[in-house]
Structure 1
Amino acid sequence: MGTISLGSRSETVRSTDTVDLRVPADPAYLAMIRTATAGLATRLDLTLDEIEDLRIAVDEACSLLLQGRAHPDRAIHAEFEVGPPGSGTLSILITGPVSQLPEGRGYAWAVLQALAGDVITGIGENGAWIKLTYVGRGDQ
């Protein structure tokens, strides 16, 4: 949120929107996260190629956080921060049930680094997390 002052008027404007999605920690539910990613990227007027790149990157991040298997009674949490219109910015923080991420080499990591823009990882009390920050070019 931010405040814009116009003379004697002041208005609060939303600079980002946040969308939370929590699904069972099972590869069968990853399509929901990919679909949410595509829908939110569409709101930013990203190109079809950029949207597909983001979907693939999110799928790889989720796969790393699930390590290819279901985790009964656990969840995978995706928090999307959608930048203001025209910014083309989408940040996605994905938290999964694994306590440790595999080493930063291999196909999944190469895909993340090539397609997702900025990639940051860490370990928290609820499991490992990956944050992807993408700034698209859109139709410019």
Structure 2
Amino acid sequence: MPYETMPERPAAEVTLPAAGEFLTVLRTTAAALAATADFIIDDIEDLRIAIDEACSVLISRAIPGTDLHCRFFVDDGALTIEASAHVIDRRPPPRSGFAWMVLTSLTTSVDAHVREPDELVVTMTRAGSKAKAG
């Protein structure tokens, strides 16, 4: 799903402290929403790893004491996740780096950009195998 055409209302929104101990909540949310979209187990596991990787990048750059915000959109057999945090280092992750390699291999599409003065946003979409086949 192109980012410009995401539904206005997300299926879920989660805001948590930007700290690693809260990643399990985001992995679980992604898995639950993917299951409702009839994703197969392999797709769900790929999403769990992808959200973990994207949010780890954001957490590592987050301004201390700030939050990590995730919005989840379900549409036509695909799950799009927009994760953002206010960060010290606004530069998107290097596209030649390990994190980007993981994200591009586990998602259908991924993008990173800066919004507002210090908010880094990573948006990724994963189409379920059933959606890809049909």
Query: TM-score, normalising length from structure 2?
Result: 0.82
Query: Structure 1 residue 72 and structure 2 residue 64: aligned?
Result: yes
Distance 2:39 2:77 in 1: 7
Could you say which structure has the higher helix fraction? 2
**Of 1, 4, 18, which residue of structure 1 is paired with 2:11?**
18
Q: Deviation of residue 102 (structure 1)?
A: 3.1
Aligned in 2, Cα 1:105/1:117: closer, same or farther, shift over 3 Å?
same
Query: Structure 1 residue 34 and structure 2 residue 27: aligned?
Result: yes
Task: Give yes or no for contact 1:23–1:75 (8 Å, CA) kept in 2.
Answer: yes
Question: Which residue matches 2:86?
Answer: 97
Q: How many residues align?
A: 123
Name the SS of the counterpart of 1:105 in structure 2.
Answer: coil
Distance 2:103 2:62 in 1: 22
Q: Deviation of residue 101 (structure 1)?
A: 2.8
Distance 2:31 2:58 in 1: 20
Equivalent residues in 2 for 1:1-140, closer than 5 Å: 18-67=11-60, 71-83=63-75, 87-98=76-87, 99-125=90-116, 126-138=118-130
Aligned in 2, Cα 1:43/1:51: closer, same or farther, shift over 3 Å?
same
Distance 1:131 1:70 in 2: 17
State the AA in 1 paired with 2:120. A
- Larger-gyration structure (1/2): 1
Query: TM-score, normalising length from structure 1?
Result: 0.78
Structure 1 ranges of 4+ moved more than 4 A: none
State the AA in 2 paired with 1:123. V
Which stretches in structure 1 are left out of the alignment for 5+ residues?
Answer: 1-13
Distance 2:36 2:52 in 1: 20
Q: Deviation of residue 106 (structure 1)?
A: 2.0
Which stretches in structure 2 are left out of the alignment for 5+ residues?
Answer: 1-6
Aligned in 2, Cα 1:71/1:30: closer, same or farther, shift over 3 Å?
farther
Task: Give yes or no for contact 2:55–2:83 (8 Å, CA) kept in 1.
Answer: yes
Could you say which structure has the higher strand fraction? 1
Q: Deviations over 1:52-72 (max 9, x none)?
A: 0011011110011112x7743
